[in-house]
């Protein structure tokens, strides 16, 4: 829904720079994201979690990102138009994310509050994707039936999450992974533009 890659990169590189660690490129960060911020920092710092400064880098990242997560972040083209259509059609919407919970809620509130009221991120009480916990919690809060729900995502983690939640998965190619990754993981549908979703869930 939103392209947060550059803000994530800036916060990662901020935490690395403090300790003199090598900076990461946009493409490196693109390949690192998807499994939560702990894994993002693990892949970014030399020697990962074995680095004695790993926890400090993670904390510095969290602090920096919480204050700088909207500098360059913006919805992908066509997302707001899709959300308008979904709202008009009466669909129930929620966001599940591997961003930490406060960031997920803040971003959804600031960018999509007219359309989405429920956002669930990684926390101590909800296991991160691909565990189904966040999806099941979202369905419960929406009062929605899983047999009528569809999961939309852009990565291999999302496809696995959908399968673990026993939902059909729509993979999108404008996010952090390409079509080949989504096909390999077994997405049920793959779309290249946001409004294509309507042809799948509300064909006319």
In this predicted model, what pLDDT tens digit does every residue of 132-183 receive, in sequence order?
Answer: 999 999 999 999 999 999 999 999 999 999 999 999 999 999 998 999 999 9
State the Cα–Cα distance between residues 124 and 147, nearest whole angstrom: 28
Same domain flag for 47 and 81: no
From CA 123, how far away is CA 187, in angstroms rounded?
26
- Going edge to edge, which strands form the sheet with 189-191? 150-153, 168-172, 189-191
pLDDT exceeds 80 at position 112: yes
pLDDT in tens, 3-38: 999 999 999 999 999 999 999 999 999 999 988 899
**Domain enclosing residue 47, as ranges:** 2-68
Domain boundary among 24, 47, 68: 68
Q: Do residue 35 and residue 118 come from a single domain?
A: no
pTM for the model: 0.88
Are 130 and 197 part of one and the same domain? yes
Residue 41 CB burial class (10 angstroms; 0-12, 13-18, ≥19): buried
């Amino acid at each position: 829904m939103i392209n947060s890659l550059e803000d994530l990169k800036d916060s990662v590189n901020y935490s690395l720079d403090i300790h003199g660690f090598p900076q990461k490129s946009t493409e490196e960060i693109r390949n690192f994201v998807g499994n939560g911020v702990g894994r993002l920092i693990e892949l970014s710092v030399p020697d990962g979690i074995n680095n004695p400064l790993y926890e400090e880098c993670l904390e510095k990242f969290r602090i920096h990102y919480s204050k700088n997560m909207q500098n360059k972040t913006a919805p992908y083209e066509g997302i707001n138009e899709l959300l308008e259509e979904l709202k008009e059609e009466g669909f129930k919407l929620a966001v599940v994310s591997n961003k930490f919970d406060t960031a997920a809620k803040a971003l959804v509130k600031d960018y999509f509050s007219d359309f989405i009221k429920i956002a669930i991120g990684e926390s101590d009480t909800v296991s991160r994707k691909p565990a189904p916990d966040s999806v099941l919690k979202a369905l419960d809060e929406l009062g929605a039936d899983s047999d009528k729900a569809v999961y939309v995502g852009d990565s291999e983690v999302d496809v696995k999450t959908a399968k673990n939640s026993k939902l059909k998965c729509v993979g999108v190619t404008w996010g952090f992974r390409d079509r080949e990754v989504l096909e390999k993981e077994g997405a049920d549908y793959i779309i290249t533009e946001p409004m294509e979703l309507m042809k799948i869930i509300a064909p006319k």
